[in-house]
Chains A and B, each alone.
Chain A
Amino acid sequence: MRDERSLFINIVALLILSVIGFYIYKVSMDTGKGIKITDNITPQMRVADRFMNKNVIKEESKYVWGGTAENTSANIVTSVVVDYRLFDTTLEVIVLFVTILGFGFVIPKDKRKIIKPTTILNRWAPILMILMLMIGGYMFVNGHLSPGGGFPAGAIISTAVLIGVLAGRKTLSQKTLKIIEAVAGISIFSLGIASFVITGNFFQNFILNDRIGDLFSAGLIPIFYGLIAFKVAAELSNIYFEFYEEC
């Protein structure tokens, strides 16, 4: 009885999938006129062209390495994430905030006891933590020059807290984490409002006239990435504390 039912569900699912697959195949083979899904379109035919040439405001502007532009982040993905589409990123931070809030709200409060750690873990934990903090810090400070950025940096910093938890060392309390989270979140939006007061536009990068490729370039981007990193780290560390009892 049970097996027959699961077999039936499997067959129905395969049918649905094959219908969708057939539909996608048909669409990709369709020879109507107009742009097709299978057409080969390069970034130069999309909005990305302006992002890469950094000429959204002035059409004919050009830039060189070490010069200034409307956006001075050397990593173009970062410039899209934290400047051209900054509002998306702030909303993403809110998504993480809401889900972690819901996580802490819903999860049952019987926490695991930490088994007494071995000497090796206990000894090496501070060194590992400092290493993790350094890598995370490097990542968000250099987010506008090299791959990386606030989100992985936050994740790496939070692993430092995780190691602390597993090694049974007292690092942070949940109350502190909550305060870090709220302060970082509020300051992201206050920076947005500050830019409204200064320039008249929300979430504008109002520190200008620096050079592409410098460590201190890209205006507000490193600041935003730093705030995001601390917020993400605080939120993810909160998850570990929900699972494990603090020592």
Chain B
Amino acid sequence: MVNRVYYLGLIIAFIMAFGSLWALLTDDLFKAIVVFGIVSLSSSVMFLLMQAPDVAITEAAIGSGITTALFIFTYKKLEDRKDER
């Protein structure tokens, strides 16, 4: 039982590490934002594994949901500006 949880944690740790590297190294801004959202969401699963459901809920709602939404709104706004020129 403990082992299974450990492997889940290992998988999520790899997802987070590779995801964050990908988000930083890719040239496409939109892709980076979405991948960052995935990293943030998987970190909330990590919080759940650490027996911190309060933090997990907050991270999922604020850290993952609203921060990503803010980034996407910003991206859209910058895109609009590009169209004008």
A and B touch in the complex (CB under 8 A): yes
Chain A positions within 8 Å of B, measured between CB atoms, are 75, 77-78, 112, 139, 147-149, 151-152, 155-156, 158-159, 162, 236, 239-240, 243
Contact yes or no, A151 B62, CB < 8 A:
yes
Contact yes or no, A75 B66, CB < 8 A:
no
Contact yes or no, B65 A159, CB < 8 A:
yes
Known: A159-B65, A236-B66, A239-B70. A152 touches B57 (CB 8 A): yes
Known: A75-B54, A152-B58. A243 touches B65 (CB 8 A): no
Is residue B56 within 8 Å, beta carbon to beta carbon, of the partner chain? yes
In angstroms, Cα B35 to Cα A152, docked, is 22
In angstroms, Cα B77 to Cα A156, docked, is 23
Binary A-proximity of B65-81 (CB < 8 A = 1, otherwise 0) = 11001100100110010
The residue in chain A whose Cβ has the minimal distance to the Cβ of B55 is A77
Is residue B11 within 8 Å, beta carbon to beta carbon, of the partner chain? no
In angstroms, Cα B52 to Cα A78, docked, is 12
4 further A-B pairs in the complex, CB-CB below 8 A; given A148-B54, A148-B57: A139-B57, A162-B69, A236-B66, A243-B76
Chain B residues contacting A149 (CB-CB under 8 Å) are: 54, 57-58
Contact yes or no, A151 B77, CB < 8 A:
no
